[in-house]
Structure 1
Amino acid sequence: MSGALLPLARASFWLAFVVVLAGSVVRMTGSGMGCPDWPKCFGLLVPPTKASQVTWTPGAKYEKGRMLLHRDTLWVAQEPFVAREFEIERNRGQWRPYLKHDYAIFNAAHTWIEFVNRCLGALAGIPALLLFLAAALARDLRTTILSLFGVMALGFVAWLGKLVVDGNLIPYSITIHMLGALAILCIDSVIIQRLRGFVVRWHRSARWGLAFALGVTLLQILTGTEVRELVDLLLKKGMGRPDLAESLAESYALYLIHRSGYWLVLAAHAFWIWRMGPFGQSHVLRARNGVVLLLIGQLVTGVLFAFGAFPAWAQPIHLILGLGVFLTAWGLYWRTTSR
């Protein structure tokens, strides 16, 4: 079974990364409440594709738990029945309003974007669970423990996803949700580096510099996620995207901290790159070059936010580039040791 560990760890890592990418698309399109309940979607295993499926219709048969929109309210069927007269059914208690939140909008595209995101999350759990079982059977204690943490992190992210939906995207829960996904990626990355067995000796200052760069990059990701929540708030208030950067700079210090923080991130990574020297094993040089290219990409998308009308399509790209910087450096850290 030991031969299956590395492919399973890689599959778990890349599926988790795809889930993070899908989550960023959900945020970009505003599809987070496309399914107003969890784990089903409008009380259905297969989400609706048209408004008539979530609209009360006389003569239609509804199962217990089915959710409909009626008079700008989300209603839940309390038992199986055939619809005759809504007010009579409501008075009988056959329909009750959904009380966990007051979001009552149906958008088929948003619904299916969110549903695909959930399906990818469920799919990501398969290689993670198989990795844990394979490691246990192979009697690889460290991989077993790490993969168990990965499975637990997946469970936490799924549970938090339910809270996010129940609370109608409550503040800070989205940031914690993203951190949970990042933790899964970090665990899988450590497993992959252990199983590959690459170890490079670095000068202590280079490795400490890399550790510091990881810390400031993580802080930059966290502040960026909070800035994204501010952007969502301003967009909900009706502000146009061309006005976002100016409004954020004038009213929110967090935005200025995040914008200026890029230069600290750049300097931190430049330090360890300088200390490691121009030479090294090919896998180390690939990681170094990858970090440089990702940082350049982040600068380009950051400029688009400041001077290019804050395009929606650039937001998930900016996040993925930031995660790429962190995860590439994180994997490199676990392939090095101090001398």
Structure 2
Amino acid sequence: MTINRLIKLTLVFTLAVILMGAYTRLSDAGLGCPDWPGCYGQLTVPTEVNDITKAQQQFPERQLEQDKAWLEMIHRYIAATLGVMVLAILIMSLRQPQAPKKLPIFISLLIIFQAALGMWTVTMKLMPIIVMLHLLGGFSLFSLLLLLYLRNKPLRIPGGDSYARQLAPLAAISLVVLIIQIILGGWTSSNYAALACTSLPICEGNWVDNLQWAKAFSPFQGDHPSYEFGVLDYAARMTIHVSHRLWAIVTAVVLLLLAFKLILSQSTTMRKSGYLLTLLVIVQVALGISNVVMHLPLGIAVSHNGGAALLLLTVVFINYAIVRKA
């Protein structure tokens, strides 16, 4: 297998880990296994009567729910497979003289940090700042793998599209705006604030007078036995949700502006990227609205996470394509 084929497969696995992580989190299965890396002291979920009894004796504070435990362990199995694939990419990169070296090393360090964040997510009982960093680590890994793929298969814009290159500042701003929106989405999810507002377009009631910015965005929320299901009051969660919604409007406007300008480009690559970006923004907005109207159905909520990952990948590609020398 060539290194680029392995990177493409690893990209697919990374998306699977992101989606499975979202499914696990949204299914309230983040503490399905109260220890790490095993589950109730085993490498698999306890299923035998004796094993279940022993597990409950070791962790009397948690009731073993096998469906949630299996979700968590499947997520860990896929993540472990991803780690092995990243290691294989590193080895292949170091062996091939022309392959980039620094980027695969950084990606390998990142996935080690991701594993640590996965452990802390459990040991710190779903502390929101750790959960959010774990989510961002997955998105960062996804983006860096794409960059590594592009570095191994150099992209050239046919004819050296000078018009597209003038869009570099807007593309960079779009990336920053999107990253902020992803951070807000992660903070909303990790604080169980997705249903803090259930009406459109912003929130029900006199929400303006109930905003609590400092409390809503404090990374430390006190010492609690567990952060499962959130520890913030309604006003703080509502503030988080409103922030995510308002910034979503800014994000959609900026990304659609970039997409429109890309569609006017003479480069086929840029035009296709513009059309794809437009489609992804429309789908992502529709998924966000559906989450509110339908009260966060699991399939749509997971798709919203996947849509954010694909949007980020598209904007990263656009930035790379614009600044790459022809």
1:315 aligns with 2:296: no
Choose which of 242, 253, 276 in structure 2 pairs with 1:267: 253
Match for residue 29 of structure 1? 27
Q: TM-score scaled to structure 2, two decimals?
A: 0.81
Moved over 6 A (4+): 239-242
Looking at structure 2, the residues matched to 262 and 132 of structure 1 have their Cα atoms a distance apart, in angstroms, of 36
2:101 aligned counterpart, secondary structure: helix
Q: Which amino acid aligns with 2:117?
A: L
What CA deviation, in whole Å up to 9, does each residue of 1:48-95 have, x standing for no partner?
Answer: 136663214xxxxxxxxxxx214xx716xxxxxxxxxxxxxxxxxxxx
What CA deviation, in whole Å up to 9, does each residue of 1:86-106 have, x standing for no partner?
Answer: xxxxxxxxxxxxxxxxx5121
Choose which of 30, 43, 59 in structure 2 pairs with 1:74: 59
Q: Which amino acid aligns with 2:34?
A: P
Q: Kindly state the Cα deviation for residue 240 of structure 1 after the two structures are TM-superposed.
A: 11
Q: Which amino acid aligns with 1:333?
A: N
Contact 1:37 1:165 in 2 (8 A): yes
1:125 aligns with 2:83: yes
Match for residue 314 of structure 2? 328
Q: Kindly state the Cα deviation for residue 122 of structure 1 after the two structures are TM-superposed.
A: 0.6
Q: 1:246 to 1:225 in 2, by over 3 A?
A: farther
Q: Which amino acid aligns with 1:69?
A: Q
* CA RMSD between the two structures: 2.8
Contact 2:263 2:271 in 1 (8 A): no
Q: TM-score scaled to structure 1, two decimals?
A: 0.78
Match for residue 223 of structure 1? 184
Q: 1:46 to 1:311 in 2, by over 3 A?
A: closer
Q: 1:241 to 1:261 in 2, by over 3 A?
A: closer
Looking at structure 1, the residues matched to 8 and 290 of structure 2 have their Cα atoms a distance apart, in angstroms, of 33
1:12 aligns with 2:17: no
Looking at structure 1, the residues matched to 296 and 49 of structure 2 have their Cα atoms a distance apart, in angstroms, of 32
Match for residue 102 of structure 2? 145
Match for residue 87 of structure 1? none
Match for residue 133 of structure 2? 176
Q: 1:303 to 1:53 in 2, by over 3 A?
A: same
Match for residue 187 of structure 1? 144
Q: Kindly state the Cα deviation for residue 207 of structure 1 after the two structures are TM-superposed.
A: 1.6
Contact 1:205 1:275 in 2 (8 A): no
What CA deviation, in whole Å up to 9, does each residue of 1:232-254 have, x standing for no partner?
Answer: 6x98xxx9989xx6489563222
Match for residue 109 of structure 1? 67
Q: 1:247 to 1:321 in 2, by over 3 A?
A: farther
What CA deviation, in whole Å up to 9, does each residue of 1:183-227 have, x standing for no partner?
Answer: 211211111112221133343441211111111111001111111
Q: Kindly state the Cα deviation for residue 13 of structure 1 after the two structures are TM-superposed.
A: 1.7
Q: Kindly state the Cα deviation for residue 43 of structure 1 after the two structures are TM-superposed.
A: 0.8
Q: Which amino acid aligns with 2:85?
A: P
Q: Which amino acid aligns with 1:195?
A: N
Contact 1:205 1:272 in 2 (8 A): no
Looking at structure 2, the residues matched to 130 and 148 of structure 1 have their Cα atoms a distance apart, in angstroms, of 11
What CA deviation, in whole Å up to 9, does each residue of 1:95-146 have, x standing for no partner?
Answer: xxxxxxxx512111001110000000011112211111111111236x2211
Q: Kindly state the Cα deviation for residue 21 of structure 1 after the two structures are TM-superposed.
A: 0.7
Q: Kindly state the Cα deviation for residue 155 of structure 1 after the two structures are TM-superposed.
A: 0.5
Q: Kindly state the Cα deviation for residue 280 of structure 1 after the two structures are TM-superposed.
A: 4.1
Choose which of 92, 96, 99 in structure 2 pairs with 1:134: 92
Which of structures 1 and 2 has the bigger CA Rg? 1
How many residues align structurally?
292
Q: Kindly state the Cα deviation for residue 286 of structure 1 after the two structures are TM-superposed.
A: 3.1
1:206 aligns with 2:167: yes
Contact 2:121 2:127 in 1 (8 A): yes
Structure 2: tracts of 5 or more residues without a match:
211-234
Match for residue 60 of structure 1? none
Looking at structure 1, the residues matched to 175 and 105 of structure 2 have their Cα atoms a distance apart, in angstroms, of 24
Instruction: State percent identity of aligned pairs.
Output: 20
